[in-house]
Every structure is written in structure tokens, then in C-alpha cells.
Amino acid sequence: MSETFEQHGLAGQVTAAFRRRRIWPGLRMTPMIDVIFLLLTFFVLTVQFEQPEQALPLVFGASAAQPAVEPKAMEFTIAPHEKGCAVTLGENEVIIIPHASPAVGLAQLAAHVRQTAAAQQHQHAPIRLHCDDAVTWDLVTKIYDLLYGLGARDITFVVKD
């Protein structure tokens, strides 16, 4: 005969609760596996595949395009002048841009830049500006704005070390 011991009181209630609860809840893995599967699916669907580099077209021999010839840079030296500033173009041509009415000097500078670009057959030749420290920034910015308005995008201020 088997004997069952029944306990009364608090001890009986605790042991009865453990007997009723046979399954330990533990860590449920199914939702975590679902989340990992969804993340994997998301990354697989959003990846962008690249074309292999072996598929690049290569041209060998004399039929290859010639390398582009860089146009000669236009050199401008901007120095102070008693009326405003003097822009030296090349070696001997000087344009005076006065403080009082800079439009006349800027028009001459624009005409020279257009002629030089047409002679070089290159619209967007690089421009190098050598500015003296005594030249006012007002005139320098007007010259820069004029050159930018004419289509020059490669304008460099040359600085001496």
C-alpha cells in the first residue's frame, strides 16, 4: 500500500502549487527564431548586387582615345594701383580697374578672357590669380565674380609660402 502524505497549512499549499505546475515556462525559442528569420529575409531582399568588374569594356591598341590635353592656365596678377587695382594679363597687358567705376575695367577684362579662351579653343581653362596683400577684397571679389560669371569654374588663388 502506498501511503500519501498530506500536509496541511502553508507547506501543503506550496507543495500543491509545485505539483500543479509541472511545466516550467522557460525561454520560448519560437518567437526569437521568427525574428531572426525575418531579419535574414530583410537583409537578403535589400542587398544591392554589383556588376562584376571583369565585365568592364577594355580597348587595346592604337584605337584607344588620346588622353585629354590640359589647357594652359591663364595667369592674372592683381596689384594695387593709385586708382584701384591693376590686373596684369600675361606678360605685358595691364588693365586698370578703378574704385570709382570698376565696370569699364571689368568689361575690358571680360573681353580679354573671352579672346584668350577662344584662342586656346577651351571654354573652361583654369585661371590662377596672384593677388597682392594690399589689394582691397571688394575689387578681388568683383574680379572673381566676373570670371565665375563667364563660366570659369577652376579659379585658384596662388599663395606664396
Tens of pLDDT, residues 105-127: 999 989 988 888 788 776 677 88
Whether residue 93 is found in the same domain as residue 150: yes
Question: With a threshold of 0.85, does the pTM exceed it?
Answer: no
**Within a domain: 63:** no
The pLDDT value recorded for residue 37 is 93
Q: What span, in angstroms and rounded, lies between the C-alpha atoms of 124 and 57?
A: 29
Whether residue 25 is found in the same domain as residue 93: no
Exposed, middle or buried: residue 43 (CB in 10 Å: 0-12, 13-18, 19+)? exposed
Q: What span, in angstroms and rounded, lies between the C-alpha atoms of 126 and 76?
A: 11
Instruction: Tell whether the model's pLDDT for residue 26 goes beyond 70.
Output: no
Percent over 90 (pLDDT), the chain: 17
Phi, psi (5° rounding) for residue 80? -70, 150
**Within a domain: 59:** no
Q: What span, in angstroms and rounded, lies between the C-alpha atoms of 94 and 90?
A: 9
Whether residue 79 is found in the same domain as residue 137: yes
Instruction: Tell whether the model's pLDDT for residue 4 goes beyond 60.
Output: no
In the chain, the amino acid numbered 114 is R
Cell numbers for 131, please give them. 593677388
Tens of pLDDT, residues 82-101: 999 999 887 788 899 998 88
CATH number for the domain spanning 106: value is 3.30.420.270
The pLDDT value recorded for residue 6 is 61
Instruction: Tell whether the model's pLDDT for residue 40 goes beyond 90.
Output: yes
The neighbouring-strand residues paired with 138 are none
**Within a domain: 26:** yes
Whether residue 34 is found in the same domain as residue 79: no
Whether residue 86 is found in the same domain as residue 36: no
The pLDDT value recorded for residue 7 is 63
- Quote the distance between the C-alpha of residue 72 and its chain's center: 27
How many structural domains is the chain composed of? 2
**Within a domain: 144:** yes
Whether residue 89 is found in the same domain as residue 147: yes
The pLDDT value recorded for residue 86 is 92
Exposed, middle or buried: residue 155 (CB in 10 Å: 0-12, 13-18, 19+)? middle
Instruction: Tell whether the model's pLDDT for residue 3 goes beyond 60.
Output: no
Q: Which domain holds residue 100?
A: 74-158
Whether residue 35 is found in the same domain as residue 79: no
Whether residue 83 is found in the same domain as residue 145: yes
Residue carrying the nine cell digits 560669371: 149
